[in-house]
Amino acid sequence: MTGIKIKNTVRLWQLFEVFFKIGGFTFGGGYAMLPLIQREVVDRMKWLTNEEFMDLFAVAQSLPGVFAVNISIFTGYRLKGFKGALFSAIGCTLPSFLIILAIALFFEQMAHEPVIVRIFNGIRPVVVAMIAAPVITTWKSMKMKQRQLWIPILAALLVWLLKISPVWVIIISALGGVLYTFYIKKYIKPHIR
């Protein structure tokens, strides 16, 4: 669905508007923004296919910086080049900047107010659910074979238990994929028969 046709029909203001909405209405930032980004960019606007989104997700996650901003920049660049990346990034970050600026002005006076504490306690479980939803969607769309199930489980354990940086896990996984594709699949498997 992406390509020349969409590049010509997408307006810079649309990119700004979509990512402004994402940035303004998603609590928790980062991964909590993932379901909304996917819904807007893939399902509603059809700017990217699910597979393209997953590729951007993998790259955005492995780079330094805010994950959601990375995805907005990649999406904007893919659709409208440098200007698209700029409009998307500003749209994604402006709501947070304005909200944080307003909160910073009054936070010290309000931080211990019971209502504010309850609001944050109510938001936290929702953020967990918002992170889990795209993980499940991603899992379903990957069409993973049963013999491959150990890969994401091992990756999660490396990050969670051994505290290995996700960047290293992604790099090792990429190298493993290259090794499997170019060495094992081509040279070892044909000789096993």
Whole-number Å distance between alpha carbons of 34 and 40: 10
130 and 149 share one domain: no
57 and 43 share one domain: yes
156 and 185 share one domain: yes
pLDDT attached to residue 147: 75
Domain boundary among 117, 143, 169: 143
Percent over 70 (pLDDT), the chain: 90
Q: SS3 letters for 142-173?
A: CCCCHHHCHHHHHHHHHHHCCCCCHHHHHHHH
94 and 186 share one domain: no
28 and 48 share one domain: yes
How large is the average pLDDT for residues 14-29? 86
pLDDT attached to residue 4: 45
42 and 130 share one domain: yes
Angstrom distances, CA of residue 127 to CA of 58, 130, 136? 21, 5, 15
pLDDT attached to residue 72: 93
92 and 167 share one domain: no
pLDDT above 60 for 139:
yes
Tell me the residue length of the chain: 193
Comparing 68-77, 135-144, 181-190, the range with the smallest average pLDDT is 181-190
Q: Which of 98, 175, 63 is CA-nearest to residue 74?
A: 63
Tally of domains within the chain = 2
Residue 171's domain spans which residues? 144-193
Structure token digits, residue 103: 């909160």
23 and 116 share one domain: yes
Q: What is the pLDDT of residues 31-81, one digit of tens each?
A: 777 888 899 999 999 999 988 998 888 888 878 888 888 999 999 999 999
pLDDT above 50 for 1:
no
82 and 158 share one domain: no
153 and 163 share one domain: yes
pLDDT attached to residue 27: 67
151 and 135 share one domain: no
pLDDT attached to residue 193: 54
Q: What is the pLDDT of residues 86-127, one digit of tens each?
A: 999 999 999 989 988 988 888 778 878 898 889 888 988 888
Q: What is the pLDDT of residues 156-177, one digit of tens each?
A: 899 999 999 988 998 998 898 8
pLDDT above 70 for 6:
no
34 and 103 share one domain: yes
Q: Quick one: CA torsion of 123, 89, 136, 175, rounded to 10 degrees?
A: -130
